[in-house]
Amino acid sequence: MRRLIRLYLKRDNPLRRPSDRLEAMGVWMVVALIVLSLWPATWVAGLVAGQERADRGLRHQAEATLLQDAATLDLSFGEFTQQASDAEARWLSPSGEERGGRIPVLPTAVAGTTTTVWIDAGGELTAAPLDEPAVRLKAIHAGTFVVASVAATLCLVFLGFRWALNRRRYADWDAAWEQADTRRTP
């Protein structure tokens, strides 16, 4: 690691070409921009966490009463068989309006039993809100995705920049060899 740092910091080497200086400047710019991408990453993580916490306040639990026995459906995936069950049910929305629909239940559920469902502010079925550790994990994933995306993009741009520098270096080298060959021929 020290060699790499010295390679890109050392400026007193007389053999260092201008293209080497450009490449070193490009490396430091990539590193600086990746570090600067931490600010938007934390902003995105905070935005995601805030949205999930706000969604948590909009979801409510309600007691749903089954109107029929559970209908069992066998789902087969190769040798693995899973029983999925659902049944028609009724529940009250937060405004007191009666709502209904099919909900997932245990295969042994019978008509008249109650089960807990999650509903939104309009009384429609929704998924349960994320708990706090899941919200934090989702926010961390969002922030990490931002930094990784910026880093990948910058590295690809730098590789293109370096490819162009190498093409220029090879062209300069070929020109120098051509000049050296013309000096030797009588």
**Residues 106 and 140 both lie in one domain:** no
Based on the structure, what is the number of domains in the chain? 2
Which residues, other chains included, contact 24 with Cβ-Cβ below 8 Å and sequence gap of 6+?
Answer: 7, 8, 9
Does a structural domain hold residue 38? yes
93 and 106: one domain?
yes
Instruction: Dump pLDDT digits (tens) for 16-64.
Output: 777 888 888 898 899 999 999 999 999 999 999 999 998 888 888 888 8
Q: What is the pLDDT of residues 137-150, one digit of tens each?
A: 999 999 999 999 99
Q: 8: pLDDT confidence band, cut at 50, 70 and 90? A: low
112, 22: one domain: no
30 and 109 fall within a common domain: no
67 and 41 both lie in a single domain: no
Q: Which domain holds residue 95?
A: 60-119
Top-confidence residue, 62 or 70: 62
> Is there a domain that residue 5 lies in?
no
Is the residue at 186 inside a domain? no
Please, are residues 64 and 125 in contact by the beta-carbon 8 Å criterion?
no
Would residue 140 count as lying in a domain? yes
Do 69 and 108 belong together in one domain? yes
